[in-house]
Amino acid sequence: MVTKVALASLLMAVGISAAFAQNNAVTEAQNTERAATGTFKTATGTCQAAYFKSGPKLKSVRGEDAITTVIVNSGVTVNAVLILAGARQGQIVNPMNDQAIMLFEPLEGNQIRVHPLGGPAAGWPVADLSKC
């Protein structure tokens, strides 16, 4: 009898923990989407020539929740996809080859930071951006 009660308690705890983890993942995805939605500029840039613009929501080639983005730096325009949830959350990927080109980091006060990794963004500096 004690074994059955202990097993039932353990299974209930695992179920609660799994539900909490799933809800936390949804919240993180929503926070990433909320932080990335809009148009962002560098400290010396303008909103008319924004550095980062978000677009419509879609699914990545791997079926992950994502949003389209357009990133412009030094006359180079990069069309990309920001992964909102899952193992690659926060990666900005090339939609053609699915390779990460930047990392997205939400900051306090309607600001974001992008960390270039490679591809067309190779050699770009890390950029702190403010929402327009």
Of the pLDDT bands very low, low, confident and very high (cuts 50, 70, 90), residue 130 is very high
Of the pLDDT bands very low, low, confident and very high (cuts 50, 70, 90), residue 26 is low
Is the per-residue pLDDT at 126 higher than 50?
yes
Residue 123 phi, psi (nearest 5): 90, -10
Q: Which of 111, 120, 125 is nearest to 38 (CA)?
A: 111
Q: Could you tell me where the DSSP H helices lie in the chain?
A: 2-36
Quote the percentage of the chain above a pLDDT of 90.
Answer: 70
What are the structure tokens assigned to 76, written together?
Answer: 């180079």
Q: What is the pLDDT of residues 30-82, one digit of tens each?
A: 888 999 999 999 999 999 989 999 999 999 999 999 999 999 998 999 999 99
Name the amino acid, one letter, at 90.
G
In this prediction, residue 20 carries a pLDDT of 43
Is the per-residue pLDDT at 116 higher than 70?
yes
Is the per-residue pLDDT at 87 higher than 60?
yes
pTM of the model: 0.78
Is the per-residue pLDDT at 22 higher than 80?
no
Name the amino acid, one letter, at 88.
R
Q: What count of other Cβ atoms lies within 10 Å of the Cβ of residue 116?
A: 20
